[in-house]
Chains A and B, each alone.
Chain A
């Protein structure tokens, strides 16, 4: 009798080693509406699916404007964005920055107080270095796009116009971080209690 139970136990334990199987998961009841046969972004297709066809051009991505899409103007990197700089445009840039950049670079771009830094996950270099402050905007644009690491995927995922708006806002941060108190508008300084 004991032998029986022991054998059963052993057998049960051997089944529970937790090996991963290459075979599809066994589901006693497949809920068809949950486990649909259609493929999503996370499906393993195991083939060419998802790879970009080389040299083809999707609609709306002709990218014939070098300034807008490559940051170049007249053979060198552009100093300013291809669109007019307005307060509204900077506010949109601020909004993109908050959504896409703040988690790593923090609200001021210094890398401090960044949510991920606070939790001790990663350490991100500051965006407020002298090199970045003096670099032309077009150069920054190109660098971020050519970056093969996936860290700047969020930037790449923005549209070209949104990218320029974000970079313009970064320029705002550059100015703000070294701006003397005199250059802050009076009413803002007063509201913040920076005026003695």
Chain B
């Protein structure tokens, strides 16, 4: 057939007609009735609830829109957390909508089935177990601060006496609890009154970052440093630790010591006090004499022992000694002894009666028990022991006929269990949590369960054969039994407690029981001076993923580690000296071997790691979800302790590129003229403030008078910034900031609008020998003379009358001039359509409907959370107010900061906090000489170093 012109046109016409017949789009129109709790569509509703991380309880306010939680914030009324929230808890909205979450129970083969079958099976299993007194049943649990949970465990102990309970949780405060048991302090929980302590000594204890009640501790600690403190009003923190942590960074004086020697340091300290005539408790007279006779340490470490002992003795009753969870039980016991010698019990440490966590035997005990006797059923509630405890556990698991793993998504352990059952998220289920001061926070669901899932409480209640095992009933019944207020109808009290989110502790005062140190002699004998050999491996819970439980959380994986600045990766941390000894450079693969186990991972040089130590993070090297292939699992190297001596290091010839974000370096690489200024004058300023008393700086010029009554501005008190990263995650959750993955991080960095800039103290610091970093959060500075605005060819970035530097996404053509001209390096360009990852998946439910999702080719940056300003303005207008009251419009970072370092408000309002802070001494602007007149200003950082140690 020849193709003439007519035929050709006909064919083309036909083809065009066909092309026009694309699928007709399905557009859904759904009635919004019935709405969640009668909320208007698009209007946020707020719920008070609470969350646990490790041993920390945070009161929360969860913002939901159209029935879905969008943003987790702190409950300012909660007596302990007072509105602060950490990064991990805020990142839980990511986990809630994670498309990797399991949707139905599955068998080992992957075949899914209905949740009702699990319930039936559990009921049958429970009936059988009750008939046999629990014989053949084993439970592996995660540490919980829930009184209802502990109450159910107590009931299980009573009704199923032969059932065996084990704890498989690396984040549990195990050693401190065992120490309390050894000292006869059972049934008591210590509550630290950090704000009242003048001198603090943290021994391998990251109490400001990841251990204990870190949120309330940070707030209390920095309350003595906020707002231009004086030497007299400020507290002083000494830290002895093997690998830098946020607490070590905040220290006024820090000593890097291998983990195995921290106990010996403490013994030296106590010996020194005995030598100075401090009276030991009666039962320890002989032991104390021997301790006083041990050879004192010399040189730097000796000076440290002597100085710290002196300072602590000077501040009797107003000091505090904190021992880290990675230290063994006997060191914790020594810590209690020291606190008692210093008179701190009853002053800086209060003891409150509490229901103890009943289970401390770990996975090793389970493996042993499984070998000894036959378990027929095993229930694993929320733990992942196959990953944390390895091959031996797998063998024990294989010997059990029926095992059920309850977890949010399939993990290593689920693959080896008979059944995997989805676990309910804490925003979907009822619960309660108790803080150290006795406050009981309630956990109420903020949305109906997304997928078929069970909560831990329901599983335990079913085991007990409770008639109504729903978590709501369990919590409510416990509440009624143990907390009901006399004279108040229980319904009214319950509703009030749920609404407020917590119940204050009963008026009962703290207990005055003293520890008895009778057993101390036995536990410490032979431990204090144990010799160390070879290279010491020091294991840490990772900042981002803890023991691996947050490994599939993209927000946490992508947030740069405050110490290493690594994201999506783990590394072996070496001090520069140790690295030089082995000839190792950053990113070089090294092989670590100890006791027959070998692991290869990249090395990273970090100042502040103790000599002869290698810092290793747990939690990486998993093979599921987003965590698949991220980092290396160092579990095989770890023995029973959190350190291991006698390791060998062999460098290999391979180098890997580590995804590391160090914003200050990024800016320097850009070669902008103002960077010169940044690199020289700025650090000097940072340092000046740490040392000298605050010189009365010129008061900061305020924005020029304008017809607009609102002039927004921010002030950040760097003296109160711990660098915890809560603001970074808050910003990410609020503003739909995309995660980009390790490859993109290596090329272009992350998309975070807010990053935490840091500067090493030792660099050109007049205080030689001081380590650690000063940190400050940096986002768009909203300059009044913004260079980016004049650089944009299409006016896509403009100034608003209320002083915001605004991005018009729809106008942006991606020319990039604004980013090049920005001296602060805070603009982020979308090289790819990052939102593609979530399109059409449940992850998209986490997106804030009040903030546009940016696509490829668009520049983005901090907006001062303009959507919140607009919302506050609407509310003020509704109430007939002329001006938005101070504190109504608060960006996510300021609302969430545990230490209240960030203050935002209307600078034109004479009564506003931000105006006061900007006018106070020590306020400064970044790159003031660039004459950009930023709306964000900073207050000077602060350190209070001991002159005897400098």
Chain A 46-81: CB-based contact to B (< 8 A → 1; otherwise 0): 011111111111111110100000000000000000
Does A157 belong to the interface (CB within 8 Å)? yes
B499 touching A15, Cβ below 8 Å: no
A21 touching B26, Cβ below 8 Å: yes
Chain A nearest CB, measured from B367 CB (Å): 39
Chain A nearest CB, measured from B455 CB (Å): 13
Task: Return the chain A residue nearest B810 by Cβ.
Answer: A33
Task: Return the chain B residue nearest A33 by Cβ.
Answer: B810
Chain B nearest CB, measured from A77 CB (Å): 21
Q: Pick the contact of A150 from B33, B41, B428 — CB < 8 Å?
A: B33
In the complex, chain B residues whose CB is within 8 Å of the CB of A5: 10, 14
In the complex, chain B residues whose CB is within 8 Å of the CB of A40: 42, 66, 849
Q: Pick the contact of B450 from A32, A49, A55 — CB < 8 Å?
A: A49
Q: Pick the contact of B47 from A9, A27, A58, A153 — CB < 8 Å?
A: A58
In the complex, chain A residues whose CB is within 8 Å of the CB of B508: none
In the complex, chain A residues whose CB is within 8 Å of the CB of B180: none
Given A33-B855, A37-B838, A64-B495: A51 and B36 interface contact (C-beta under 8 Å): yes
B23 touching A23, Cβ below 8 Å: yes
Main secondary structure of the interface of B (DSSP, over half): loop
In the complex, chain A residues whose CB is within 8 Å of the CB of B35: 50, 52
Given A12-B17, A32-B833, A59-B61: A51 and B810 interface contact (C-beta under 8 Å): no
Task: Give the one of A16, A24, A27, A56 with max B CB within 10 A.
Answer: A56
Task: Give the one of A37, A48, A64 with max B CB within 10 A.
Answer: A37
Given A26-B22, A57-B495, A59-B48: A50 and B844 interface contact (C-beta under 8 Å): no
In the complex, chain A residues whose CB is within 8 Å of the CB of B809: 33
Does A44 belong to the interface (CB within 8 Å)? yes
Chain B nearest CB, measured from A16 CB (Å): 5
Does A8 belong to the interface (CB within 8 Å)? yes
Within 8 A of B (CB), among A1-29: 1, 4-5, 8-9, 11-12, 15-16, 18-28
Q: Which residues of A contact B (CB under 8 A)?
A: 1, 4-5, 8-9, 11-12, 15-16, 18-28, 32-33, 36-45, 47-62, 64, 150, 153, 156-157
Q: Pick the contact of B448 from A41, A42, A53, A64 — CB < 8 Å?
A: A53
Task: Return the chain B residue nearest A153 by Cβ.
Answer: B33
B7 touching A58, Cβ below 8 Å: no
Q: Which residues of B contact A (CB under 8 A)?
A: 1, 7, 10-11, 14, 17-18, 20-42, 45-48, 61, 64, 66-68, 428, 444-451, 472, 492, 495-496, 498-499, 736, 809-810, 833, 835, 838-840, 842, 844-845, 847-849, 851-856
B47 touching A56, Cβ below 8 Å: yes
Give the distance in Å from the alpha carbon of A61 to the alpha carbon of B44 in the complex: 13
Task: Give the one of B41, B444, B448, B852 with max A CB within 10 A.
Answer: B448
Give the distance in Å from the alpha carbon of A43 to the alpha carbon of B30 in the complex: 8
Chain B nearest CB, measured from A70 CB (Å): 13
Given A51-B67, A61-B37, A157-B40: A150 and B28 interface contact (C-beta under 8 Å): no
B32 touching A25, Cβ below 8 Å: no
In the complex, chain A residues whose CB is within 8 Å of the CB of B26: 20-25
Given A24-B26, A32-B835: A37 and B840 interface contact (C-beta under 8 Å): yes
Q: Pick the contact of B36 from A9, A38, A50 — CB < 8 Å?
A: A50
Task: Return the chain A residue nearest B497 by Cβ.
Answer: A57
A38 touching B736, Cβ below 8 Å: yes
Chain A nearest CB, measured from B41 CB (Å): 4
Q: Pick the contact of A25 from B1, B24, B38 — CB < 8 Å?
A: B24
Chain A nearest CB, measured from B847 CB (Å): 4
Chain A nearest CB, measured from B20 CB (Å): 8
Given A33-B809, A43-B28, A50-B66: A59 and B47 interface contact (C-beta under 8 Å): yes
Closest 8 CB pairs of A and B: A25-B25, A32-B855, A15-B21, A8-B14, A50-B67, A38-B847, A41-B41, A48-B448
Q: Pick the contact of A36 from B22, B31, B32, B852 — CB < 8 Å?
A: B852
A42 touching B28, Cβ below 8 Å: yes
B10 touching A47, Cβ below 8 Å: no
Q: Pick the contact of A56 from B29, B61, B444, B849 — CB < 8 Å?
A: B444
Query: What would 7 A/B residue contacts be, using CB atoms closer than 8 Å?
Result: A11-B14, A25-B26, A32-B855, A40-B849, A42-B29, A53-B447, A150-B33
In the complex, chain A residues whose CB is within 8 Å of the CB of B1: 1
Give the distance in Å from the alpha carbon of A1 to the alpha carbon of B18 in the complex: 19
In the complex, chain B residues whose CB is within 8 Å of the CB of A21: 23-24, 26
B66 touching A41, Cβ below 8 Å: yes
Chain B nearest CB, measured from A138 CB (Å): 19
Q: Pick the contact of A53 from B444, B492, B499, B839 — CB < 8 Å?
A: B444
Give the distance in Å from the alpha carbon of A126 to the alpha carbon of B730 in the complex: 52
B18 touching A12, Cβ below 8 Å: yes
Give the distance in Å from the alpha carbon of A39 to the alpha carbon of B45 in the complex: 16
Give the distance in Å from the alpha carbon of A150 to the alpha carbon of B35 in the complex: 11
Task: Return the chain A residue nearest B39 by Cβ.
Answer: A58
Given A48-B447, A57-B499: A37 and B847 interface contact (C-beta under 8 Å): yes
In the complex, chain A residues whose CB is within 8 Å of the CB of B835: 32, 36-37
Give the distance in Å from the alpha carbon of A39 to the alpha carbon of B446 in the complex: 17
Task: Give the one of A4, A9, A28, A58 with max B CB within 10 A.
Answer: A58
Task: Give the one of B11, B22, B42, B848 with max A CB within 10 A.
Answer: B22
Task: Return the chain B residue nearest A7 by Cβ.
Answer: B14
Give the distance in Å from the alpha carbon of A76 to the alpha carbon of B449 in the complex: 37
Give the distance in Å from the alpha carbon of A16 to the alpha carbon of B20 in the complex: 9
B34 touching A52, Cβ below 8 Å: yes
Chain B nearest CB, measured from A30 CB (Å): 9
Given A4-B7, A8-B11, A41-B41: A62 and B499 interface contact (C-beta under 8 Å): yes
Chain B nearest CB, measured from A102 CB (Å): 20
Chain A nearest CB, measured from B859 CB (Å): 13
B67 touching A49, Cβ below 8 Å: yes
Given A25-B26, A42-B30, A157-B40: A32 and B853 interface contact (C-beta under 8 Å): yes
Q: Pick the contact of A49 from B45, B447, B833, B840 — CB < 8 Å?
A: B447
Given pairs A21-B26, A26-B22, A56-B47, 13 additional interface contacts (CB within 8 A): A12-B14, A25-B26, A26-B25, A41-B41, A42-B28, A44-B30, A48-B450, A49-B67, A49-B447, A55-B472, A59-B46, A62-B496, A64-B495
Give the distance in Å from the alpha carbon of A18 to the alpha carbon of B853 in the complex: 32
B448 touching A16, Cβ below 8 Å: no
Task: Return the chain A residue nearest B809 by Cβ.
Answer: A33
Give the distance in Å from the alpha carbon of A27 to the alpha carbon of B492 in the complex: 54
A41 touching B24, Cβ below 8 Å: no
B66 touching A58, Cβ below 8 Å: no
B14 touching A9, Cβ below 8 Å: yes
In the complex, chain A residues whose CB is within 8 Å of the CB of B46: 58-60
Give the distance in Å from the alpha carbon of A8 to the alpha carbon of B447 in the complex: 53
Given A47-B842, A49-B845: A54 and B448 interface contact (C-beta under 8 Å): yes
A62 touching B495, Cβ below 8 Å: yes
Task: Return the chain B residue nearest A53 by Cβ.
Answer: B445
In the complex, chain A residues whose CB is within 8 Å of the CB of B840: 24, 37
Given A52-B37, A64-B492: A41 and B844 interface contact (C-beta under 8 Å): no
B67 touching A44, Cβ below 8 Å: no
Given A59-B47, A62-B496: A51 and B839 interface contact (C-beta under 8 Å): no
In the complex, chain A residues whose CB is within 8 Å of the CB of B845: 39, 45, 49
Give the distance in Å from the alpha carbon of A157 to the alpha carbon of B43 in the complex: 11
Give the distance in Å from the alpha carbon of A56 to the alpha carbon of B30 in the complex: 24
B18 touching A57, Cβ below 8 Å: no
Task: Give the one of A33, A42, A59, A153 with max B CB within 10 A.
Answer: A59
A38 touching B842, Cβ below 8 Å: no
Task: Return the chain B residue nearest A61 by Cβ.
Answer: B37
B67 touching A47, Cβ below 8 Å: no
